[in-house]
Amino acid sequence: MTDLTLTLNGAAVSVSVQSNWTLLQVLRDRLGLKGAKEGCGVGVCGTCTVLLDGRPISSCLMLATNVAGRDVLTIEGLGGDGHLDPVQQAFLESTAFQCAFCTSGMIMATKALLSSMPDPSDEEVKDYLAGNLCRCGTYVEVLRAVRRARELVQATP
């Protein structure tokens, strides 16, 4: 076991990890953050999406040791004090989920999309989110939610 220190959802965190643990395992099994899910385990489905230094990654394919000293944002780090992040709010308003297993990944990917591209076209949204799968097939609602999130983010000073 080695000690790993990172910034997680804005706070410094230290945790002992084994070299063969993925970031997803550490988040879920050591730190109790169950928002990121293990779907496929091979980087295809997007349910384990978290942001590393602001960029979306598959936490199931990241060795935990590689986040030492870096900034990790999970769905648990959005919103706070009884209010939702605009992206969460938009997904809720648009009912952009059915079983919701994919939702935290969809929201984190959308969060990254809107921070790198504040005014994406529908085609750009589809291209960016193509790697986040929803087996309930709520893609139409997800697209609507991203459009709504774009409005809410733009309206936020």
Contact positions toward other proteins, by CB under 8 A? 18-22, 41-44, 46, 49, 52, 55-58, 61-63, 65-66, 109, 112, 128, 130-133
Nearer to other proteins by C-beta: 95 or 115? Answer: 115
In the complex with other proteins, the residue whose CB is nearer, 80 or 137, is 137
d(CA 10, CA 91): 23
Task: Tell me the closest approach of the beta carbon of residue 71 to other proteins, in angstroms.
Answer: 14
**Residues ≥6 apart with Cβ < 8 Å to 47:** 36, 37, 38, 39, 40, 101, 102, 104, 105
Least Å distance, CB 37 to other proteins, is: 14
Least distance (Å) between residue 58 CB and other proteins: 4
- In the complex with other proteins, which residue's Cβ is closer, 49 or 104? 49
Cβ proximity to other proteins, 61 vs 92, nearer residue: 61
CB of 57 to other proteins, least distance (A): 5
We find the least distance from the C-beta atom of residue 131 to other proteins, in angstroms, to be 2
15 vs 84, beta carbon nearer other proteins: 15
CB 36 within 8 A of CB 104: yes
